[in-house]
């Protein structure tokens, strides 16, 4: 397993997490009040409509749009009974609302822990495919069957490798108590009602990604640091020399080189190391990724050059799917190859690169024209939505940087240049729409970024500037410096 570094930053009730593997950014998460991730939440809902032609049920869980529950899920949980309008049900969110669609729901409830995921309505025991040792798989499966209550099942996670029965049983009892609490609330609450929320992002990331032998965590918030340490102590998981409280002056993301990588998340074109590049486009129905040889001509024969470029592209595409959290149908147009063996090698290597993805991914066979169809489960909003929003000028046909992202960009600029800005007069010229957002949401955050230093900063509206541009004019003595963000 690659060395994993988890970088966590918490500012102004906004938590951002960057995951690096071998010092390369592979995953990014952010949670803030206006983009709350509700996947995993359990609700008491009420059936509002039954649509047999869609093989589904609509359930009111208190949101703007009713959730969609597959009819098969209902039949599985209720042992073949038929649903009724007005009936109250326990449901869990498996996918966030997307566009005009409400959240996707299930009645096959899961209660996640560090070593296992308890499944109250499923009797089977599954073991993570990433545990490849057959003896260990059999041990964990046998052990789990002994400790699980009759009629319940579980999924055994990769982190359970080598864990003894005592630890597994202790966690199972904790998860069982959580499930009993959900059942009690179901009996006492009026629908629609929230019965159980997911853990905070810091704990979810620690629970799902931290493996002491391969991981370390760096945190810039004392509150988050203490919460993580408390969780690890409670679970009796080694953490000394693995979890660090960051006290540096620079933003933690800048210190670990994350900001440069984040800057590329929204970009349409991604360059490869050999001068080739990939282009990522989104339509209403799917994502389309095109592979190009670009500047790379290669000293070897043309077929070998194309094969090498396709291999680099396959690795980068696997990373970008995780990093941008792209879901749904993805069509990849690799450069055409005439050698059938090269096509087979490419598909095999692409499958290997995708193994690191924690989200379910399926790859369809490559065609003679180099087209590969991939389906990747869509669970939450694509991370790019944290950075871009529809352009108001072209009626949403294009995208621009989002206002929250631009505010974060300005914060990073101030934190990076704090010492240099002391004693200077700084004027930020921005479009009036962005200025309105900064005045409503950003004053406290910007003041906090200055940390009491003598920096005189003011904002001026400039309608001639593009929506996503920030122009900074700094005056110190007789010297004037202009910069664009």
Residues 367-400 pLDDT 10s: 766 689 898 987 655 555 555 565 655 555 556 6
pLDDT over threshold 60, residue 456: yes
pLDDT attached to residue 212? 84
Mean pLDDT of 121-149: 91
pLDDT class for 141, splitting at 50, 70, 90? Answer: very high
Of 44-48, 275-279, 290-294, 439-443, the least confident: 439-443
CB–CB of 296/276 below 8 Å? yes
pLDDT value of residue 398? 58
State pLDDT tens for residues 38-79. Answer: 889 999 999 999 999 999 999 999 988 999 999 999 998 888
pLDDT at 297: 59
- Provide the pLDDT for residue 453: 67
pLDDT of residue 447: 78
pLDDT at 150 over 60: yes
pLDDT band at 290; cut points 50, 70, 90: very high
**What does the pLDDT average to over 417-431?**
83
What's the whole-model pTM score? 0.70
What is the 3 state secondary structure string of the chain?
A: CCCEEEEEEEECCEEEEEEEECCEEEEEEEEECCECCCCCCEEEEEEEEEEHHHCEEEEECCCCCCEEEEHHHHHHHCCCCCCCCCCEEEEEEEECCECCECCEEECCCCEECCCEEEECCCCCEEECCCCCCHHHHHHHHHHHHHHCCCCCEEEECHHHCCCCHHHHHHHHHHHHHHHHHHHHHHHHCCCCEEEECCCCHHHHHHHHHCCCCCEEEEECCHHHHHHHHHHHHHCCCCCCCCEEECCCCCCHHHHCCHHHHHCCCCCCEEECCCCCEEEEEECCCEEEEEEECCCCCCCCCHHHHHHHHHHHHHHHHHHHHHHHCCCEEEEEECCCCCCHHHHHHHHHHHHHHHHHCCCCEEECCCCCCCEEEEEECCCCCCHHHHCEEECCCCCCCCEEECHHHHHHHHHHHHHHCHHHHCCCEEEEEECHHHHHHHHHHHHHHHHHHHCCCCCEEEEEECCCCCCCCCEEEEEECCEEEEEEC
CB pairs under 8 A, 24+ apart, for 392-401? 392/433, 392/467, 393/467, 399/266, 400/466, 400/467, 400/468, 401/266, 401/468
Higher pLDDT, 350 or 481: 350
Question: At 153, is the pLDDT very low, low, confident or very high (cuts 50, 70, 90)?
Answer: very high
Query: Own/partner pairs for 55-59, CB < 8 Å, 24+ apart?
Result: 57/83, 58/102, 59/89, 59/91, 59/105
Residue 188 pLDDT grade (very low, low, confident, very high; cuts 50, 70, 90)? very high
pLDDT at 111 over 90: yes
Distance CA 249, CA 251 (A): 7
What pLDDT is stored for residue 100 in this prediction?
77
Q: Write down the mean pLDDT value for the chain.
A: 85
Q: What mean pLDDT comes out for the span 298-314?
A: 84
pLDDT (mean) for 199-226: 89
Q: Is the pLDDT of residue 136 over 90?
A: yes
> Is 60 exceeded by the pLDDT of residue 205?
yes
């Amino acid at each position: 397993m690659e060395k994993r570094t988890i970088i966590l930053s918490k500012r102004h009730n906004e938590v951002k997490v960057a995951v690096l593997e071998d010092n390369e950014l592979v995953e990014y998460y952010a949670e803030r009040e206006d983009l709350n991730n509700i996947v995993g939440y359990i609700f008491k809902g009420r059936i509002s409509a039954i649509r047999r032609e869609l093989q589904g049920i609509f359930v009111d869980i208190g949101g703007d749009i009713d959730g969609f529950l597959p009819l098969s899920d209902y039949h599985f949980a209720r042992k073949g009974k038929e649903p009724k309008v007005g009936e109250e049900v326990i449901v869990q969110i498996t996918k966030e609302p997307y566009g005009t669609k409400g959240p996707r729901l299930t009645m096959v409830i899961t209660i996640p822990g560090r070593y296992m995921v308890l499944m109250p309505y499923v009797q089977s025991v599954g073991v993570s495919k990433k545990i490849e040792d057959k003896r260990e798989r059999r041990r964990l499966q046998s052990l789990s069957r002994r400790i699980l209550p009759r009629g319940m099942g579980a999924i055994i996670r990769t982190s359970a490798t080598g864990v003894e029965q005592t630890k597994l049983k202790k966690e199972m009892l904790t998860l069982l108590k959580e499930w009993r609490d959900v059942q009690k609330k179901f009996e006492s609450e009026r629908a629609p009602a929230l019965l159980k929320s997911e853990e905070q992002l810091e704990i979810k990331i620690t629970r799902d990604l931290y493996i002491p032998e391969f991981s370390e965590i760096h945190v810039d918030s004392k509150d988050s640091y203490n919460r993580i340490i408390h969780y690890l102590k409670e679970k009796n998981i080694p953490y000394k020399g693995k979890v660090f409280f960051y006290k540096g002056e620079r933003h933690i993301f800048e210190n670990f080189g994350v900001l440069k990588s984040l800057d590329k998340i929204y970009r349409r074109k991604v360059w490869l190391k050999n001068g080739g590049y990939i282009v990522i486009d989104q339509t209403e129905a799917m994502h389309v990724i095109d592979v190009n040889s670009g500047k790379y001509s290669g000293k070897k024969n043309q077929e070998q050059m194309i094969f090498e470029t396709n291999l680099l592209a396959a690795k980068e595409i696997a990373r970008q799917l995780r990093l941008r959290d792209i879901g749904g149908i993805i069509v990849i147009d690799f450069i055409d190859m005439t050698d059938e063996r090269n096509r087979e090698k490419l598909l095999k290597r692409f499958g290997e690169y995708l193994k690191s993805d924690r989200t379910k991914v399926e790859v369809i066979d490559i065609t003679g024209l180099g087209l590969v169809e991939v389906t990747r489960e869509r669970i939450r909003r694509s991370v790019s939505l944290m950075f871009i929003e529809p352009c108001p000028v072209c009626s949403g046909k294009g995208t621009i940087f989002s206002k929250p992202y631009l505010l974060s960009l300005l914060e990073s600029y101030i934190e990076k240049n704090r010492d240099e800005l002391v004693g200077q007069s700084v004027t930020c010229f921005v479009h009036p729409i962005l200025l309105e957002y900064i005045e409503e949401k950003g004053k406290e955050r910007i003041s906090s970024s200055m940390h009491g230093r003598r920096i005189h900063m003011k904002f001026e509206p400039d309608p001639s500037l593009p929506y996503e541009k920030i122009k900074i004019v700094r005056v110190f003595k007789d010297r004037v410096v202009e910069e664009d963000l």
